[in-house]
Amino acid sequence: MKCVKNTTQVVPAVARMHEILWHLHLSAPDGKTAGELCAALRYPRSSTYRLIRSLKDLGYVSESPVDRKLRLGPVILDIARAAFRMSDLVSTAKPHLKRLGEITGQTVKLSVERGTEVEVLDCVQSRNPFHLAVSIGARFPITAGAASKVLFAYQPEELVRRILSRELPRYTENTICDPDEMRDRLLEIRREGFAVDNEEHAAGVRAIAAPVFDSIGRCIAAVSIAYLSASEPTSADLETWRIQLKRCTESITREL
pLDDT tens by residue, 11-70: 888 888 888 888 888 887 888 888 888 888 888 888 888 898 899 889 889 988 888 899
E strand or H helix that includes residue 197: strand 195-198
**Whole-angstrom distance, CA of residue 244 vs CA of residue 242:** 5
Amino acid letter, residue 176:
I
pLDDT of res. 3: 47
pLDDT of res. 104: 94
Reduced to 3 states (helix: H, G, I; strand: E, B; else coil), residue 2 is coil
pLDDT of res. 82: 67
- Peptide bond connecting 29 to the previous residue in cis, omega within 30 degrees of 0: yes
pLDDT of res. 42: 82
pLDDT of res. 221: 96
Residue 137: alpha-carbon gap to chain centroid:
9
pLDDT of res. 127: 81
Give the torsion sign (CA, 215, 238, 142, 139): positive
Instruction: Give percent helix, percent strand, percent coil of the chain, each to the nearest 5.
Output: 50, 20, 35
The gap between the terminal CA atoms of the chain, to the nearest Å, is 40
Q: What is the pLDDT tens value at each position of the chain, 256 positions in all?
A: 344 445 557 788 888 888 888 888 888 788 888 888 888 888 888 888 889 889 988 988 998 888 889 988 888 877 776 665 666 889 999 999 999 999 999 999 999 999 899 999 999 998 877 667 788 999 999 999 999 999 999 999 999 999 999 999 999 999 999 999 999 999 999 999 999 999 999 999 999 999 999 888 999 999 999 999 888 889 999 999 999 999 999 999 999 8
pLDDT of res. 84: 59
E strand or H helix that includes residue 153: helix 146-153
What is this structure's pTM? 0.70
- Strands of the sheet containing 117-124, edge to edge, are 139-141, 117-124, 107-114, 219-228, 205-213, 195-198
Phi, psi of 46 (to 5 degrees): -65, -45
Please give the domain boundaries of the chain with CATH numbers for all domains. Answer: 12-72 (1.10.10.10), 83-255 (3.30.450.40)
Amino acid letter, residue 60:
Y
pLDDT of res. 67: 85
